[in-house]
Amino acid sequence: MMHTLHSLLETASRPHGGGDLLVLAILLPIVALLLIVLTGGRFGRAITLASLVPGLFITGAIAHRVWTTRTALVERVGGWEPPLGLMLRADGLSVLMLVTTALLVAAVALYAPRDFRVPAGAPETRTSLVFWVMLLAIWASLNSIFLGHDLFNLYVALELIAFAAIPLVYLEGKKGTVMAGLRYLLFALMGSMLYLLGTALLYSHYGTMDLTRLAAAVNRDWVVALSVALMTVGLMAKTALFPMHLWLPPAHSGATPAASALLSALVVKGSFFLILRIWFDLAPAFTGTPGAQAVGVLGAGAVLICGVLAVRQTRLKLLIAYSTAAQIGYLFLIFPLAKGAGFERALSGGVFHILSHGFAKASMFMTAGMIVAACGHDRLAELRGVMKTMPVATIAFVLAALSLVGVPPTGGFIAKGQLLSSAVLSAQWPWVVVILAGGLLTGAYMFRALSSCISPAPLSFQPLAPVSRIREWLVLALAVIALWIGMFPGVTTRTLEIGRPAPLEARP
C-alpha cells in the first residue's frame, strides 16, 4: 500500500508524462473490486473505503496536472499509437466528470455502510458483496467512459456501466424491482446495439475508431449523419430521454437509496457524456441542424411532460425519479441551442447542469433514503413532520431543491442562465419558453415534496430508527457543493476550456 502510494506520488510529481495516472484511475477500482470478490462481502466496506484514498488522490493528481499545464493529458496504452492502439485522454470536461464521480462515489460509500453492514459472527449476505462490488464497478466503468478516446472502447465501457448498474436496481429483491431491472436491461442492450451499429458505419467509411482521427476526417454527409443518429438514439435510450424514460422511475425509485443516488446522479450522465463527445467533439457541424432541433423537441417533451408527471406523484422517491427524467430533458436542449454565437454557452450550460444536478440529486435521494428509514414508507401525504427529526438534512434538501429549480446563486441557476443566454444569442425564442416553463414545474414539484415533509408533525410521530448524524452532514455536504458550483462558476468554465477543439468560428 505504502509502496503504491509512493510510486503514485512519484508519478504525479514528474514534470512530463503522467499519462499512467489515467490507467490507474480505471485500474484501481477494478483491483479493489477483485479483492472484495476474493475476500467476500464482509470486507467490502473496508476495502472500498481504503480504495477511496488512493482513488481521490489519483483523481486529484489528474485534475492538478490538467489544470496547471492547461493541456489535455494523453496516454497511449501499451505504447501503441492509434488507429491500432487505444488512447486515453483527459481534457477539462473529463476532469470535471472524474472529480464529480470520485466525490459522489465517496459520498455513497460513506452513506451506505449502515444498510450493508455484516455483523461479526453473522453469516455473510449476498447484498453486501454485490453492493460494494458494483459500486466499484460503476466507478471503474464511468472513469473509462470519461477517459476513453476510441468509439469501440467506449462501447465496452457503456456495456460495463449497464452490467454494474442493473444488479443495484433489484439488489434487495423487493416486489417489482426485478421487472424494473429487466426493463432497464432491455433498454440498455438495445441502446448499446444501436450505438455499435453507428460505430460500424463510421468504421466502414473512415477505417478508424479514434475520436481525434475521426473528428479530423468526418464530412457532413449522410453516412456520418446516419451514424450520429443511430448512436444518439441508442444513447438516448440509456439516458432515459422522453419518450424512452419509462424504465427510469421504477428502476431508480425501487433501488436502495445509496444506489438510487448513484444511478440518478451519475449513471445516466455516463451515456449522456458520450452524446456530448459525439456532438461536440466528433461532429460539431451537426449542432443546430434540423436533426438537433428534433433532439431538442424530445428534450422539451421530457422537461414538460415528465415535469407534470413529477408534480402528480404521491410518493417521494418516485417524485424525485420523475424529476430526474425531467431534468435530463434540459441536457438535450443544448444540441439545438449550440448554434452560432450560442455554441460555447450551450455546452457550458449543459456541463453546469450535469454537475449541479448530479450533486443535488444525489443529496436528495440520500435524504429520501433517510426519510424512508425514519417513517418506513415514502407516501407524501403521510410524511408530515418527518424533517423535524433531521434538521441538517432539511437544510440540505432545501438547498438541493433550490439548485434544481435554478435559484441564484446555485449551480442550477448558472446552468439555466447559460442555456437561456445561448437561446437568446442564437435567437431561438421557443426554447426560452421551454426553459422557463420547466423551471416553474420544477418549483411546483419541489414545493410539493418539501411542503409535506416540513409541515408540523403530529404529536405522536416517532422515527422508526434514530437518524444518522453522519448521513445528515453527508447530504448537506453534497448540497453545498451544488451551491458552490454556482458561487464560483469560473472554476468550472476555466476547466471546461482545457483541451477543447479549436474555436468553432472556423466551422462552416
Closest CB 396 distance from another protein, rounded Å: 20
- The SS3 call for residue 243 is coil
What letter would DSSP give residue 41? G
176 near another protein, judged by CB under 8 A = yes
Closest CB 340 distance from another protein, rounded Å: 32
Among 325, 372, 393, 423, binds another protein (CB under 8 A): 372
Q: Which residue has the cell 414538460?
A: 304
Among 49, 189, 450, 477, binds another protein (CB under 8 A): 189
Please, which residue, 184 or 413, has the CB nearer to another protein? 184
166 near another protein, judged by CB under 8 A = yes
φ, ψ for residue 75 (rounded to 5)?
-135, 125
254 near another protein, judged by CB under 8 A = yes
Cβ neighbours for 278, distance < 8 A, ≥ 6 positions apart: 228, 231, 232, 235
425 near another protein, judged by CB under 8 A = no
Closest CB 444 distance from another protein, rounded Å: 20
Q: Which residue has the cell 506520488?
A: 9
Among 70, 126, 377, 494, binds another protein (CB under 8 A): 377
Q: Which three cell numbers stand for residue 118?
A: 455484516
117 near another protein, judged by CB under 8 A = no
Cβ neighbours for 393, distance < 8 A, ≥ 6 positions apart: 367, 370, 387, 467, 471, 472, 475, 476
d(CA 178, CA 169): 8
Alpha helices by DSSP H, 118-267: 126-147, 151-169, 177-206, 211-217, 222-239, 248-254, 257-262
Please, which residue, 197 or 477, has the CB nearer to another protein? 197
180 near another protein, judged by CB under 8 A = yes
Identity of the residue numbered 38 = L
What letter would DSSP give residue 81? P
Stretch that binds another protein, among 86-94, 197-205, 275-283, 499-507 (CB under 8 A): 197-205
Among 29, 113, 181, 438, binds another protein (CB under 8 A): 181
129 near another protein, judged by CB under 8 A = no
Q: Packing angle between helix 290-301 and helix 222-239, nearest 10 degrees? A: 10
226 near another protein, judged by CB under 8 A = no
46 near another protein, judged by CB under 8 A = no
What letter would DSSP give residue 326? H
Closest CB 281 distance from another protein, rounded Å: 20
466 near another protein, judged by CB under 8 A = no
Q: Which of residues 300-329 bind another protein (CB under 8 A)?
A: 315, 317-318, 321
Stretch that binds another protein, among 14-22, 203-211, 341-349, 435-443 (CB under 8 A): 203-211
What Cα–Cα distance (Å) separates residue 106 from each residue in 100, 101, 298, 474? 10, 8, 33, 10
439 near another protein, judged by CB under 8 A = no
170 near another protein, judged by CB under 8 A = yes
Q: Say how many CA atoms lie within 13 Å of 384 toward its Cβ.
A: 9
- The SS3 call for residue 195 is helix
d(CA 239, CA 286): 20
Cis omega (within 30 of 0) for bond into 243: yes
365: burial class by Cβ within 10 Å (0-12, 13-18, 19+)? Answer: buried
175 near another protein, judged by CB under 8 A = yes
CA-based nearest residue to 349, from 440, 297, 278, 426: 426
78 near another protein, judged by CB under 8 A = no
59 near another protein, judged by CB under 8 A = no
- 496 neighbors 347 (Cβ within 8 angstroms): yes
Please, which residue, 189 or 487, has the CB nearer to another protein? 189
183 near another protein, judged by CB under 8 A = yes
Cα torsion at 212, 215, 216, 221 (round to 10°)?
Answer: 160
Among 27, 31, 156, 392, binds another protein (CB under 8 A): 156
376 near another protein, judged by CB under 8 A = yes
Query: Which helix (H) or strand (E) segment is 61 a member of?
Result: helix 44-69
Among 4, 7, 204, 451, binds another protein (CB under 8 A): 204
173 near another protein, judged by CB under 8 A = yes
Please, which residue, 42 or 317, has the CB nearer to another protein? 317
CA-based nearest residue to 472, from 365, 390, 359: 390
Closest CB 500 distance from another protein, rounded Å: 26
Stretch that binds another protein, among 71-79, 105-113, 244-252, 429-437 (CB under 8 A): 244-252
Question: Can you give the binding site for another protein, defined by CB under 8 A?
Answer: 83-84, 152, 155-156, 159, 162-163, 166, 170, 172-183, 185-186, 189-190, 193, 196-197, 200, 203-208, 246, 249-250, 253-254, 315, 317-318, 321, 372, 376-378
